[in-house]
Every structure is written in C-alpha cells, then in structure tokens.
Structure 1
Amino acid sequence: MRENDVLKRAFAMPLTSPAYSPGPYRFVDREYLIITYRTDPAKLRAIVPEPLEFDECEALVKYEFIRMPDSNGFGDYTESGQVIPVSFRGRKGGYTHCMFLNDEGPIAGGRELWGFPKKLAQPTLRTEIDTLIGTLDYGPLRVATGTMGYKHREVELAHVNAALKEPNFLLKIIPHVDGSPRICELVEYHLEDIVLKGAWTGPAALALTPHALAPVAELPVLEIVSAVHIRADLTLGLGKVVHDYLRQPARRSLRADERALVF
C-alpha cells in the first residue's frame, strides 16, 4: 500500500477494517431516563476540570440511561453515565464525566472522535409494567439502578428541547507513543436536527453502588431533584476544540515517575 493510499484511507483504526463508520451519526427513537440529583460539592470540585465551572450551591449531577435502538453505523445499543451541569465562559452546558456502554463501535468512535469517556459495561433501559427502569452492570456487579413512574405527567417540550440544544463538553485525552499526553483538549459538541417526540416526568429513585472501576458512587446521591423520560430523533454533531491544555503557558511536562502517580 502506497503512502497516499494510507492517507486516503486513514479515517479510523484498524486501517483496513475501522471499528466505526464515518458520520454523520443519526439516532432514531433515542430514549432517555435522566435523574437529576444533588451531590457533595467537594466531590464535584475534585473532578470538574478548569476552565469549566459549576454551581457549588446546587452541586447537581444528571444520571443518564440512554437506549439507542437505531443509530447510523453504531447499530442498536444502550449507555449509561453521569453528566455534570457546568458553565464555560458564561454559557451553560453539560460536562460528561463517565459513560458505560455495550457496543465496541461507539466506544471506539466516541473516544477517538469526540473524547467521550466511554468504557465497556452492560447498561439497560426498559419498561416493567408501570415503571421505567435503568440499570448498569460492570461485569457481574450492579453499580446503578434508576427508576421512574412511567409517564405520570407530560413535560413542557420547549423546555426539554432547549436543554437538549445546550453545549456539551468533553475532556479528550490521547497519549503519545511514549506515554506522555499528545492531545489534551476540552471539546464542545451539540445535538442537532432534534425531533422531540415526547417528554414525561414522575417519581424517581436512584441507587449507586461503589465499584473500583465504575466509580459512579463517588458522586453520592444526597437528594433527588427531578427526573425526565425523553423520546427523540437527533444527530450527534461533530465537535470543536475550545481549550487546549497543552498550549497553556502554565503547563509543564510530567516526569515519568509523576505520570505513574496519576494512576
């Protein structure tokens, strides 16, 4: 294979059989269960990266279970994770802290393209009689269970649509071959072409169990604030870099022994 051929085909890895297809990525009948809760602000302070900011008085976290039965290139899968309401230079949005899903394509694509913090696990979202139930299993252990009364009350669609259109922020990290950071960026992306099919709320509960490799319980549930069940079609827009940590004047290279301490 000639060098020009490599460059033409170099969209994703592996070169001759990429783990995911090129976009755009359209999702049909995407279903959310989002439970918003209050947590310990000191815990948030330790994980929200500057220059993002969060409201220490509110200290909110959104725990999400998302069912995606029809998505271009990625197929049929489910994911679950935590999104923290933040602001960036005066604009409100959400910072994705962790995500767990059961499909290799969106794990690879999400990490490589946008910087989604995705790991392999087994989330589910289903309706059981009168209850919407979301679960997350990491290996054989249950680490999250969310429940909401099924479609108790409709939610104002304009409010939900505005929330879905807010910017989303990710911390994209790709190491160099020597283990040092080659890319360390704050990425912004948006959901696009949203067709909102319905939104409902009801009584909700959320239980998180400590796990060394799926540490969702590190942001403890102190109080349930709200819950929403959403159905929508949408496109996952590609991102843009809004902050490059490696280009900041104050940065310095970590020694090998210092990098080891990070882990």
Structure 2
Amino acid sequence: MNPDLIRQLPSMPLQSPTFPRGPYRFRNRQYMALPYRSSMDAIIEALPEPLEPDGDIVAVQWLDLPDGEGFGSYAAVAQVIPCLFKGEPCNYVHQMIVNNAPPLAAGREIWGYPMKFGDPSLQVKADTLNGELYYAGQLVALGTMTYKHMVSYQTHDDLIQALTRTQVTLKIIPGIDGRAEIAQLVGVNFQDVVVHGAWLGSGRLEMHASVNCPLSDLPVLSMRQASHLVTDMTLPYGRVLHDYLK
C-alpha cells in the first residue's frame, strides 16, 4: 500500500480498521443519569487545571447504545463532573467504562475519552431502571431509578442545551519514547440531537472501592433528582481547548 493510501486510513490495523471516519450518529441512545452531591475536596483533586469546580455535584451515567454508526451496539458508564473552563459551563468526563472495542479505541485515540474495558449494563427489571457495572469480576457500581414516573418538566430547548453542553476530556497519548506526545484538554459538543423521551424520578447509587475503577473516590453524600433520556445524536470531531505541551 502506498503512502497516500496509508494516510487516508481512519485507524489501524491496515487490513481491517477498528473504526471508520466520523462523524458518528447514534440512534435510540438511552441514558440514566444519577447526580449526587460529593466531596468538594475530592472534586478539586479530580479536575485537571485550568478547569474549575462548578459546585459539588457529580453524576454517574449509564448508557445503552444499541445503534452507533461505525461502532455497533454497546453499553457504557461515565462519571461526569460539571465544571468551568474560562467561565464556560462544561462537563468533565472523569472516567468511562465500555464493553466494545471500536468505541473504546476511537474514544481514546480521537477525543481522549478516559475509557477502560469493563461490563456495564442498563436494563429495565420489573418496575426499575437498573444499571450495573462490573470491572475485573467485581461489582463496582449499582444504580437504580423509578421507571418513567414523571415526564420531564424541562422545555425542549433546555434539554437540547443540556445535551449539547461542552464535554471536556483529558487526552494523553504517549509517543514511541514513552513520553507524552499529546497532552490536551479536548472539547466536544454533540450535534443534531433528537429527544424521543425524557423522564425524572428518584434514584439511588451504590459504589464499591476498586483500585482500577475508582468511581467511589468521588463519594455519594446525598442524591439529587435522577433523569432518564432516549435520544438520537451525532458525535462530531472535537477541538483542543488547552495544550499542556505548549
């Protein structure tokens, strides 16, 4: 294969790229978001400068993604910290666990999503929306929410604004010598969002200590109102917000 064709490849390996070029459309993407009040000291320690805290709320989100263009079907868990970047409200994606290789590879290599491989799931069981996360054979997190008890009172515009709020990741890619070749804060905003349903309700979150999946380092002090969303949306490429090597 000549160099021009090599430069056009979206990813490795050469004969069977792990993921195609984006943007990437998701259909019937389902969320369960469990926000909670946590330790301000732990939040400050978790946020990379120059990000600043925007209160003491953290959220753990379970995602069921049955139709991701280029990625297939998978599930994920994300721990998200609302924050400020130069005064702009953002969501810092602190930790993520997924159960499928293409989104894991693309997420880390393109946007810097802090993804590891584990076993998340989001299912309706009896009258409960139930999220589980296993890592290395251990139950790390269990989240539950009442199932469609109350339609969200947020306006359509408010929902779209929340879903397109800037996500921030810390992207670190080492070079061949082991030193950081890329060290950036990356920003990305979902596009073309369609909301099929939005509900509010009570939620509970239980987390267990895990050295390699330390969600519990941001402890639950008290729960806030939970939300359940079903959406279509497009994940575009992102932009560099801050470069630690310049």
TM-score, normalised relative to structure 2: 0.96
- CA deviations 1:2-21 (Å, max 9, x no partner) are 33332233x21222221111
Which of 99, 102, 108 is the matching residue for 2:96? 99
Matches of 1:7 and 1:69, distance apart in 2: 31
Compute the displacement of 1:59 (Å).
Answer: 1.1
Number of the residue aligned with 1:256 = none
Who is 2:166 aligned against? 167
Instruction: State the match for 1:258 in structure 2.
Output: none
1:122 offset after TM fit, Å? 0.4
Question: Offset of 1:242 from its aligned partner?
Answer: 1.2
Q: How far is the alpha carbon of 1:65 from its aligned partner?
A: 0.1
The 5 A counterparts of 1:40-189 are 40-55=39-54, 58-155=55-152, 156-158=154-156, 159-189=158-188
d(CA) in 2 for partners of 1:12, 1:59:
38
**Which residue does the alignment assign to 2:3?**
3
1:33-68 Cα deviation digits (max 9, x unpaired): 00000111111111101111113xx31111000000
Q: Report the TM-score when normalising by structure 1.
A: 0.90
- Map 1:179-258 onto structure 2 (within 5 A): 179-247=178-246
Q: What is the total number of aligned residue pairs between the two structures?
A: 244
Instruction: Output the amino acid matched with 1:210.
Output: A
Q: Are the aligned partners of 1:33 and 1:64 in contact in 2 as well (CA < 8 Å)?
A: yes
Segment drifting more, 179-188 vs 11-20? 11-20
User: Deviations for 1:227-253, whole angstroms, at most 9, x for unmatched residues?
Assistant: 100000000121000110100xxxxxx
- The residue aligned with 2:15 is 16
Given that residues 136 and 142 in structure 1 are in contact (C-alpha distance below 8 angstroms), is that contact kept between their aligned partners in structure 2? yes
AA partner of residue 29 (structure 1): N
Is the 8 Å Cα contact of residues 78 and 102 (structure 1) preserved in structure 2?
A: yes
Q: Which runs of 5+ in 1 are unaligned?
A: 248-263
Structure 2: which 5+ residue stretches go unaligned? none
* Residue 114 of structure 1, CA deviation: 0.5
Segments ≥4 residues shifted beyond 3 Å: none
Identical aligned residues as a percent: 40
Q: Contact conserved, 1:37 with 1:222, CA < 8 A, in 2?
A: yes
Deviations 1:151-189 (A, max 9, x none): 111112432222101111011110011111100011000
Match status 1:34 vs 2:33 = yes
**Which of structures 1 and 2 has the bigger CA Rg?**
1
* C-alpha RMSD of the superposition: 1.0
Q: Retained in 2: the 8 A contact 1:107–1:120?
A: yes
C-alpha offsets along residues 66-125 of structure 1, whole Å, 9 cap, x if unaligned? 000011011110000201001111111100000001000000000001000000000000
C-alpha contact (below 8 Å) 1:33/1:65 kept by paired residues: yes
